[in-house]
Structure 1
Amino acid sequence: MAANEVLLHIKDSFYFEVPKWLWPKNHETVQDFPDVWVRLDPQFQEWQAEQVYHTLSSEGIEGLPGEHDFLHNYEHWKHEEGNHGKPVQRYLAELAAPKSEGGDELAWAKNGLVIANAITAEQYKSSKEAKWAPEKIEGYNHALSGKILIPQLPGTKLRNLYEKEAGFAISKFMVIEVFVAIIIAIVFIAYSRRIAHGKLPKGTLWNMLDVFITFIRDQVAKANIHHGADKFVATLWSLFFFVLGCNLFGLIPWMGSPTGSISVTITLAVAVLFIGMIAGAKEFGVIGVWKNLVPSMDLPFVLAIFILPMMFVIEVMGMLIKHAVLGVRLLANMVAGHVVLLAVMGLAIAVQDQGYLLALPVMVIVLAGSILLSCLELFVAFLQAYVFALLAALFINAETHSH
Structure 2
Amino acid sequence: MANPILHIKDSFYFEVPTWLAPSHRESLQDFPTIWIRLDPEFQMWEAKQVHAKLAELNKDVPSETDFIHEWEHWQHEPGNHGKPVRRYLQELAEEKNDADQPANPWAESWPEAQQTVTVSQYRETAKPWSPKKIEAYNEVLSGKIIIPQPFGQLRNLYQKDSGFCISRFMVLEMLVAVVMFLVFTWYATRLKRSVVPKGRLIHMLDAIVCYLRETVIRPGIGHGADKFVPVLLTMFFFVLGCNLLGMVPWLGAPTASFSVTLSLAVTTLLIGMGAGALKFGPIGVWLNLVPHMELPLLIGIPIKCMLFVIELMGLFIKHAVLAVRLLANMVAGHLVLLGIVALGVDMSGWSLIIALPVIVGAAVLFSCLELFVAFLQAYIFTFLSSLFIGASTHHH
For the superposition of Structure 1 and Structure 2, which TM-score range results when normalised by the shorter chain? over 0.9
Alignment partners' CA distance in 2, 1:293 and 1:256: 38
Matched, 1:162 2:151: no
Cα contact 2:46–2:117 (8 A) shared by 1: yes
Shift of residue 88, structure 1, vs aligned partner:
0.8
Q: Per the alignment, do residues 308 and 7 of structure 1 end up closer, same or farther by CA in structure 2, a change over 3 Å counting?
A: farther
Find out whether 1:71 has 2:73 as its counterpart.
no
* 1:299 matched residue in structure 2: 295
Q: Any idea what the Cα deviations from partners look like across 1:146-171, whole Å, max 9, x if unmatched?
A: 11122222x41111111111111111
The correspondence of residues 75-114 of structure 1 with structure 2, limited to 5 A, is: 75-98=72-95, 104-112=102-110, 114=112
**Is 1:6–1:339's contact at 8 Å kept on the other side of the alignment?**
no
1:366 aligns with 2:364: no
Distance in structure 2 (CA, Å) of the matches to 1:355 and 1:307? 67
RMSD of the TM alignment (CA)? 2.0
The code of the aligned residue for 1:401 comes to H
Matched, 1:258 2:254: yes
- Paired AA for residue 342 in structure 1: L
Instruction: Measure how far apart 1:118 and its partner are.
Output: 4.3
Deviation at 1:342, TM superposition (A): 2.3
Q: Which residue of 2 aligns with 1:398?
A: 391
Q: Tell whether the 8 Å contact from 1:226 to 1:397 is kept in structure 2 after alignment.
A: yes
Q: Match for 1:336 among 324, 332, 338?
A: 332
Report how far residue 117 of structure 1 moved: 5.0
What TM-score comes out, normalization by structure 1 length? 0.92
Q: Per the alignment, do residues 92 and 347 of structure 1 end up closer, same or farther by CA in structure 2, a change over 3 Å counting? A: farther
Instruction: Decide which of 246, 260, 264 is 1:268's aligned counterpart.
Output: 264
CA–CA separation in structure 2 for the residues paired with 1:97 and 1:190? 55
- Of residues 362, 380, 390, the one that matches 1:387 is 380
- Of 217-226 and 387-396, more deviation after overlay is shown by 217-226
* Cα shift readout 1:62-114 (whole Å, capped 9, x = no counterpart): 1x333222212222322333222111111222222226765652122222354
- The gaps in structure 1 that reach 5 residues or longer are none
Matched pairs, number: 395
Instruction: Using the TM superposition, name which of 116-125 and 24-33 deviates more.
Output: 116-125
CA distance in 1, matches of 2:59, 2:112: 13
**SS at 1:10's partner residue?**
coil
Structure 1 counterpart of 2:189: 193
- CA pair 291-385 structure 1, distance change in 2 beyond 3 A: same
Matched with 1:147 is 144
Structure 2 spans left out of the alignment, 5+ residues: none
Q: Deviations over 1:287-346 (max 9, x none)?
A: 222221111111212223322222222212211111111111111111111122223323
After TM superposition, the score normalised by the length of structure 2 is 0.94
**Is the Cα contact below 8 Å between 2:10 and 2:158 reproduced in 1?**
yes
Q: In structure 1, what is the Cα distance between the partners aligned to 2:88 and 2:305? A: 48
Q: Cα deviations across residues 209-239 of structure 1 (Å, max 9, x unaligned)?
A: 1221111011101222221121211122111
